[in-house]
Every structure is written in C-alpha cells, then in structure tokens.
C-alpha cells in the first residue's frame, strides 16, 4: 500500500489514496477543485524514499471536498489576585481533501 508524507499549511500529514484529510484552509480552491501537494517522503512495498527537502518526481493529488470550521475552543486568561479575566473563543478553518493518487 503506497503512502506519502505531505506538507501543507506548515503541518505534515501521512496520506494514502482514498483518505479524506482535514488540512488548514486553502482559501483559493473551491469544492471540486484539484490540488497538488509537496511530497517529503514516499513509501510502498519496495521501501521508502526520503526527499531533501522534497522527493523528485513524486506527486500527491487530491480533490477539495468542502471547507468548514472546527468546533469552538474557549481561551480563558486570568491573573490571580488581580481581578483580571478575559474570555475569547476561536474556531480554526479547515479544508477537507480526498486524496486521489500517490505517484
């Protein structure tokens, strides 16, 4: 089974064909668009190939499924004995991508 380690949005993901991965938002792509990723490492039954920094000739393509936002997290800051309290919410945006091929 072929797999690859890709880099997008400052993070690394291990993907295989058919996987659906939530990656940091890609604003310029719409649902149904194709997207290609940098490949750092590939592996299959014959062994692994490690790039420096990327593997030459390797490519991972995927299709954008949807855009969305993760559940809200609460950021609460306070300083004891000072009467300081601050509450803030945050929702991180994501793009869901279906991996079509690892070549």
Q: pLDDT digits over 43-63, tens only?
A: 988 888 998 889 998 999 999
Q: pLDDT digits over 77-91, tens only?
A: 999 999 999 999 999
Token reading at 82? 């000072």
Q: pLDDT digits over 20-37, tens only?
A: 999 999 989 999 999 999
pLDDT at 27: 87
Token reading at 100? 């079509």
Do 62 and 31 contact (CB within 8 A), yes or no?
no
How many other C-beta atoms lie within 10 A of the C-beta of residue 33? 12
Q: How far apart are CA 6 and CA 17, in angstroms?
A: 13
């Amino acid at each position: 089974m072929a797999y690859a380690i890709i880099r997008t949005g400052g993070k690394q993901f291990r993907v295989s064909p058919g996987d659906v991965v939530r990656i940091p938002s890609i604003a310029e792509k719409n649902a149904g668009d194709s997207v290609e990723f940098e490949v750092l490492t590939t592996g299959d039954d014959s062994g692994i190939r490690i790039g420096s920094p990327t593997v030459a000739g390797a490519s991972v393509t995927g299709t954008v499924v949807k855009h969305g936002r993760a559940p809200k997290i609460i950021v609460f800051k306070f300083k004891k004995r000072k009467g300081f309290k601050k509450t803030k919410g945050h929702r991180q945006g994501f793009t869901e991508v279906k991996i079509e091929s690892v070549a």
